[in-house]
Structure 1
């Protein structure tokens, strides 16, 4: 006999506060501004650099990829499958990927600072952090990845002190078909 009863496990108060309560918005504002400023600073430097988006677009990324491939050959911090992806997909298209990285970093930074589509911006920031980590680059990437992941989880309230406060109710959510959260 099939039991059709749905079991709902209640959310704990800390999770509910952090991820669903607009009162946590100030906490997320601080994290959002920090992560956003880091992305904006990195992206702005790349957008203004000839080696990323100008006449020599792709040269900086080629150097980065070649460094990752050297690490992979030496048995370093770069996995074989990722080295293969870099060598066969990114390197031949370094100019396109270079522009995507530069403007992607800039847009993630702006999205987080403005609090506009915060969850989406944080997701793409985390994706770039993971890409840099897979390429064997440590720096601030682990911290930024963790904070971005938390911002993705807090998407409903992380942009409360930002443009999401007005944008999210107008856009709605894809799973409800309604324009309210």
Structure 2
């Protein structure tokens, strides 16, 4: 027996927050703040010898060892994540060092110029979660929340940015049949 899908309408508040270009200026401010935070953090790593230079991997190795040490002390780092860090990330510290450094720069640039805003915000929030799992608070909780909101607002968050022109050309899920 085939059932027709039931369409649930979106409430007016979330529709206004995440779909109205009237809030594009608000999302621009959020996007620039989060983008600047990522670009600044990433640039510091890209220009650091301990992240991407001769000693690449040294900084992330120290960070990972510190996170692994927190695993036995309490709930700061869960056992499964400590195992992931110890068995996957630590042996490949140099690779992850470059991924983190350049990933942060790319997320920052994507958010600042408003290009693929939802995707950039998603990867920013993913990095925030990995830092939170490693027991590091800093600005990660607020950046995670803001990035998550940017993911939800992806249709208008890049309105004052390159997405305004790029998304119609690249195609979006709702207009694939029109191409």
TM range (shorter): over 0.9
Look up the match of 2:86.
87
Q: Deviations over 1:32-69 (max 9, x none)?
A: 00000000000000000000000000000000001001
Select between 8-17 and 107-116 the one with higher mean Cα deviation: 8-17
Name the TM-score, length of structure 2 as normaliser. Answer: 0.95
Whether the 8 Å CA contact 1:130–1:141 is kept in 2: the answer is: yes
Which runs of structure 2 are paired with 1:64-79 in the superposition (5 Å)? 64-79=63-78
Structure 2 unaligned blocks of 5 or more: none
Q: What is the Cα deviation at residue 22 of structure 1?
A: 1.3
Name the count of aligned residue pairs: 179
Select between 8-17 and 121-130 the one with higher mean Cα deviation: 8-17
Other structure's SS at 1:138 match = coil
Q: What is the Cα deviation at residue 6 of structure 1?
A: 3.2
Which runs of structure 2 are paired with 1:1-181 in the superposition (5 Å)? 2=1, 4-174=3-173, 176-178=175-177
Q: What is the Cα deviation at residue 76 of structure 1?
A: 4.3
Structure 1 unaligned blocks of 5 or more: none
Q: How far apart, in 2, do the equivalents of 1:84 and 1:40 lie?
A: 29
Q: What is the Cα deviation at residue 7 of structure 1?
A: 2.2
Residues 1:150 and 1:179: Cα distance change in structure 2 (over 3 Å): farther
Whether the 8 Å CA contact 1:46–1:52 is kept in 2: the answer is: yes
Q: CA RMSD in A?
A: 1.5
Q: How far apart, in 2, do the equivalents of 1:13 and 1:109 lie?
A: 31
Whether the 8 Å CA contact 1:122–1:148 is kept in 2: the answer is: yes
Q: How far apart, in 2, do the equivalents of 1:32 and 1:21 lie?
A: 16
Q: What is the Cα deviation at residue 168 of structure 1?
A: 0.3
Residues 1:13 and 1:176: Cα distance change in structure 2 (over 3 Å): same
Q: How far apart, in 2, do the equivalents of 1:122 and 1:151 lie?
A: 6
Name the TM-score, length of structure 1 as normaliser. Answer: 0.94
Q: How far apart, in 2, do the equivalents of 1:18 and 1:87 lie?
A: 41
Structure having the larger proportion of residues in helix: 2
Whether the 8 Å CA contact 1:171–1:179 is kept in 2: the answer is: no
Runs of 4+ that moved beyond 4 A: none
